[in-house]
A and B are shown apart, each in its own frame.
Chain A
């Protein structure tokens, strides 16, 4: 089965703050590969500054990469403009972190949901009106909500509207950038369950960006872990959470609080902060903080390598960018 979304060698840099002829650049993405199958959810985790949102923006066509390609259902998105870009965007819809900021404050939410139906000319006006009610119903809102303005809704309701608006054009892929980070924990669970249900019922694929491991574990089929503009490990959800291999992934998973007051702390927490993406470390991006580094780590940039032995579910090869922890290849 071919991938719905195939990202290859994506590189994005921004001019660093400041000025001058030899202005440095921020390396937001330094060669990222990622693929997503139809109807699956790919979770993208990492600290802030790891480049996960930049990757989401590239897939949405909001950010032009310096290099690399983003192929959606056989079509190269990078470089598309005008109506060709709009046609693709109809099939890739965003859900952003701040639903209040995403919705036009002057429009009723019904009108916001309706907008893509109008823009892409779906059905008759009456059909569209009916479709709006259906969509609101689908995300668990009542039809009365259609006449309200965003400020009159709660955070969870707004995010439901955001999801309904994303579903309106009938997309194949929804790029959700931190969709629940602004919500209360109890509401987060409702929204995550809603997204899981929609995926099951409608077969929409999700690229799900979050800094919250437990959220990603809850919704994803596959998970990629990002660090400083690189993917360090990617695997099936079960594989990754049961047997993390990369030292960074292990540190991340160890850092998830255990709801058990008597549990002893068995791991050594990471020291230091994520280095500046303006001058990323040489070799493996993680080596300055890595508990298992060896001399070669600061010289050689490790590639994502499939690890056959670690693959238990058989869907996605478990791939790791760390030669130190990999078993020696035959």
Chain B
């Protein structure tokens, strides 16, 4: 069989146990949080009878393994359950929320890569000032927490300068321009740290490649410096860069929870935060499941991309 296809299949097979373990953890972790969803729903004046009735309705008295089995069975059929509070089916809710989170994270990722990779290359091959400036940016980006940076951006761009709306959201399909305007600050907030990590990784990987003998050889052959840097060195440095971008995607998804709350964006992150406060088990489970699955998917794509860049990674399956 084609070794590359085999690599893809093997890698896909590996995600199944990961998804299983993850679903168990997600299921248990929200139930470990003190507080009772029924009491939260009915308020503290609820009678013991009504509490017992609602608990029975929601199958909260079933043994844990049975609740887990029912949940997984539903998810496998595309039914994520019902919102405890609003009684709405979660599949529709998620269908509205996922695109928002995806838009923020993907735009941040794109911006961070577009800025981070070239700056990282300059930091490796450029002069002293290029190196100092990028190093300063890296330290800033890695040290500053996203919630603080978000607030400062709001204060500056929305408060003082009144360039941009402080918060809010319109769907892209209704008003593309408006949608992107609302996205600027959240995306900027997330992209700064992301870009800092990408710069640091790119610089390190490039320095490792630039020192290798084939670069001297190419220079002696009269290859153009730009071609040496971008076509040879960057290509060889691409594996760690792609890996870090993939791992950072998980960090971005975590950051999306903060940023969605800060900028009042109707994404999965804010959904989870609200649901945790209400002990709204099905919503928390569904939200976490979506975020975790997205991360697993991105790791899968990262591995495939790395396998494509570096034939040796996928060749390992051959022998």
> Which residues in A have some Cβ–Cβ distance to B below 8 Å?
60-62, 85-90, 93-94, 96, 98, 101-107, 115-116, 119-120, 149, 151, 165-166, 169, 175
A106→B220 contact, CB < 8 A: no
CB distance from A174 to the nearest CB of B (A): 11
Contact with A along B222-247 (1 / 0, CB 8 A): 11100100001001100000000000
Whole-angstrom CA separation of A87 from B224 in the bound complex: 11
B310 at the interface (CB under 8 A from A): yes
Binding site for A on B (CB under 8 A): 212-214, 216-224, 227, 232, 235-236, 309-312
Cβ contacts under 8 Å, B217 to chain A: 94, 96, 101-103
Complex Cα spacing A62 to B213, Å: 12
Indicate if the CB atoms of B311 and A102 lie closer than 8 Å: no
Tell me if B236 and A119 are in contact (CB < 8 A): no
Interface of B is mostly: helix
Out of B219, B232, B310, B311, name the residue touching A104 (CB < 8 Å).
Answer: B232
Which of B222, B227, B310 touches A106 (beta carbons < 8 Å)? B310
* A-B CB contacts (within 8 Å), total count: 63
- 6 inter-chain pairs at a CB distance below 8 angstroms, sorted by A residue, are A89-B222, A94-B220, A101-B214, A103-B217, A106-B309, A116-B223
A81 to chain B minimum Cβ distance, whole angstroms, is 11
Asked if B222 and A104 sit within 8 Å, CB to CB, the answer is: no
The verdict on A104 contacting B213 (CB below 8 Å), with A119-B227, A151-B312 known, is: no
Given the known interface contacts A101-B212, A103-B214, A106-B310, the answer about A165 and B221 at a Cβ–Cβ threshold of 8 Å is yes
CA of A103 to CA of B212 in the docked complex: distance in angstroms? 10
List 11 additional A-B contacts (Cβ < 8 Å) besides A105-B236, A119-B222.
A62-B216, A86-B224, A89-B221, A94-B217, A96-B217, A103-B217, A104-B235, A115-B223, A116-B221, A116-B223, A169-B222
Using A61-B220, A89-B222, A116-B223 as known contacts, say yes or no to A106 and B236 having CB atoms under 8 A apart. Answer: yes
Residues of B within 8 Å of A94, CB to CB, are: 217, 220-221
In the complex, A122→B266 CA distance in Å? 57
Given contacts A101-B213, A101-B214, A104-B214, contact A149 B311 (CB under 8 A): yes
Give the nearest-CB partner of B239 in chain A. Answer: A106
* A165, closest chain B residue (CB): B221
Residues in A whose Cβ lies below 8 Å from that of B309: 106
Contact B222 A86 (CB under 8 A): yes
| Chain B residues whose C-beta falls within 8 Å of the C-beta of A89 in the assembled complex | 220-222
Contact partners of B216 in chain A: CB under 8 A: 62
A98–B213 touching, CB < 8 Å: yes
Task: Please name the residue on chain A nearest to B236 by beta carbon.
Answer: A106
The residue in chain B whose Cβ has the minimal distance to the Cβ of A85 is B222
Is the Cβ of A60 less than 8 Å from the Cβ of B223?
A: no
A104: chain B residues at CB < 8 Å are: 214, 218, 232, 235-236
Contacts A102-B213, A104-B232: A119 and B310 contacting too (C-beta < 8 A)? Answer: no
Distance between A292 CB and nearest chain B CB, rounded to angstroms: 40
CB distance from B266 to the nearest CB of A (A): 43
